[in-house]
């Protein structure tokens, strides 16, 4: 009996290295498996393009007997996603572009603004007319048709991706009515960007700022705005996707839903998991959806990571390993610049390390794309089911 077990184990180990499913060895493996495990299917080597591209994405059957050499070959970044994203010097290039610092974006926007002031200093009209003319020229330069079209297309893609994410949830997690309510609220959010310049008439400084934000106005209007400086720093499409997904997710975060008297058990389970895994800092005077609470920001990050994972997976078949890693890095690269000295920001947002390591870096789909083995160095992961998966 012991000898038979050794033979069987040797054959199963060979299955890792022999992908052709129609070979003599493959048929022999299946025959042995049916004899000793009649009710359990045999997991064979990968067949999809992404699995072939990334061997570390294969299921546990592909790593039944990892050797010490194989273990040593697992990427170091799998143990510290924060270092992967934030400690690389210089600009990271992915196939769609780069991500610069917040300071660089605002510097470029202000430089253009000053040039326009100099250009129109001798304009014969009134000061008010001159200000309007400069603002319109600035908008035409920053929010040109190419950049405006880029933002609009990403916004619509992200909107549909969030809808798909909720549609994929089982009816035991969200009922059909709950899904309808969430999507209805999501669709009420409108992207509000120039031209014309008077779109930002109530906040003209936004034309030279790096901010991207969601807000509900006093008139109950739900809108998403993009600062002019952000256009200069976010050349990477994946950063644009993450940023817009984060802000759109605020329209349906637990606190926003509570403000319109909607609540869902799945949200409560997810919140409990956030707290359990240290994704929300618990201040002594924390009040949920009130003072010193990070729930809304953590939820927005978590949804944005799910959307970004879909974006990376969708386009990763066109890229290769290092390009996928750079695209993933760029998607959250600007989180490294979060200002820890800003007291309000510190209380409302988790720290950059938690946002990148625990929220972004714990997502199994992201880790799979980064070449991280699913059973090694795997951190806790939250879901709408509430349990740590």
Overall average pLDDT of the 98-116 stretch: 93
For 180-207, the pLDDT digits (tens) are 999 999 999 999 999 999 999 999 999 9
pLDDT at 48: 37
Query: Between these two residues, 57 and 198, which has the higher pLDDT value?
Result: 198
Q: Are strands 212-216 and 222-226 parallel, antiparallel or unpaired?
A: antiparallel
pLDDT at 296: 95
Residues 244 and 213: their CA atoms lie apart, in Å, by: 9
Tell me the residue length of the chain: 389
For the record, the structure tokens of 165 come out as 């994410």
Residues 26 and 4: their CA atoms lie apart, in Å, by: 18
Neighbours of 369 (CB within 10 A): 25
Biggest alpha carbon–alpha carbon distance for the chain: 100
Overall average pLDDT of the 99-127 stretch: 92
Q: Any idea which residue has 């929010």 for tokens?
A: 143
Residues 74 and 87: their CA atoms lie apart, in Å, by: 19
Q: Any idea which residue has 């930002």 for tokens?
A: 200
| pLDDT over threshold 70, residue 13 | no
8 A C-beta contact, residue 116 and residue 137: yes
Strand partners, 97: 94
| pLDDT over threshold 50, residue 17 | no
8 A C-beta contact, residue 226 and residue 200: no
Q: In which band, very low, low, confident or very high, does the pLDDT at 290 lie, cut at 50, 70 and 90?
A: confident
For 64-95, the pLDDT digits (tens) are 334 555 455 556 788 899 999 998 777 889 99
3-class DSSP assignment, residue 276: helix
Residues 258 and 262: their CA atoms lie apart, in Å, by: 5
pLDDT at 345: 62
CA distances from 67 to 64, 71, 73, 253, 359 (A): 10, 6, 10, 45, 30
Q: Is the four-CA dihedral 365, 215, 183, 298 of positive or negative sign?
A: positive
For the record, the structure tokens of 76 come out as 């170091």
Alpha helix (H) residue ranges in the chain: 2-17, 24-36, 49-53, 68-73, 81-86, 102-119, 127-142, 145-167, 176-187, 228-233, 237-250, 254-259, 265-276, 295-316, 321-331, 343-348, 352-353, 364-369
pLDDT at 83: 93
| DSSP 8-class letter at 44 | P
For 341-371, the pLDDT digits (tens) are 455 466 778 999 999 999 999 999 999 999 8
What's the whole-model pTM score?
Answer: 0.79
CA angle 340, 245, 110 (to 5 degrees): 60
The overall average pLDDT reported for the chain is 82
């Amino acid at each position: 009996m012991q000898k038979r077990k050794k033979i069987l184990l040797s054959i199963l180990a060979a299955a890792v290295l022999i992908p052709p499913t129609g070979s003599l060895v493959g048929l022999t493996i299946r025959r042995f498996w049916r004899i000793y495990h009649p009710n359990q299917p045999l997991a064979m080597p990968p067949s999809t393009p992404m699995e072939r591209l990334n061997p570390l994405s294969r299921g546990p059957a592909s790593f039944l007997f990892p050797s010490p050499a194989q273990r040593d070959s697992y990427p170091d970044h799998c143990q510290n996603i924060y270092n992967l994203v934030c400690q690389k010097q210089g600009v990271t290039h992915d196939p769609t572009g780069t991500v610069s610092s917040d300071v660089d974006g605002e510097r470029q926007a202000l430089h253009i603004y000053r040039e326009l002031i100099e250009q129109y200093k001798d304009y014969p009209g009134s000061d008010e007319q001159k200000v309007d003319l400069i603002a319109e020229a600035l908008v035409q330069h920053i929010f040109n048709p190419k950049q405006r079209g880029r933002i609009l297309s990403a916004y619509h893609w992200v909107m549909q991706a969030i809808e798909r994410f909720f549609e994929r949830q089982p009816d035991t997690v969200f009922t059909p009515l709950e899904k309808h309510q969430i999507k209805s609220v999501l669709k009420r959010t409108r992207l509000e960007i120039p031209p014309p310049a008077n779109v930002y008439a109530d906040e003209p400084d936004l034309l030279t700022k790096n901010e991207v934000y969601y807000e509900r106005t006093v008139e109950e209007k739900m809108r998403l705005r993009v600062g002019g400086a952000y256009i200069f720093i976010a050349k990477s499409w994946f950063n644009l996707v993450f940023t817009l997904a984060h802000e759109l997710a605020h329209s349906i975060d637990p606190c926003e839903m509570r403000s319109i008297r909607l609540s869902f058990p799945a949200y409560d389970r997810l919140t409990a998991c956030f707290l359990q895994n240290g994704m929300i800092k618990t201040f002594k005077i924390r009040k949920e959806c009130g003072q010193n609470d990070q729930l809304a920001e953590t939820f927005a990050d978590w949804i944005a990571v799910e959307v970004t994972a879909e974006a990376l997976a969708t386009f990763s078949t066109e890229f290769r390993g290092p390009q996928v890693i750079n695209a993933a890095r760029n998607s959250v690269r600007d989180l490294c610049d979060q200002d820890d000295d800003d007291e309000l920001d510190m209380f409302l947002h988790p720290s950059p390390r938690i946002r990148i390591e625990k929220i972004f870096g714990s997502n199994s789909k992201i880790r799979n794309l980064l070449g991280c083995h699913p059973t090694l160095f795997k951190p806790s992961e939250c879901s709408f089911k509430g349990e740590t998966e």
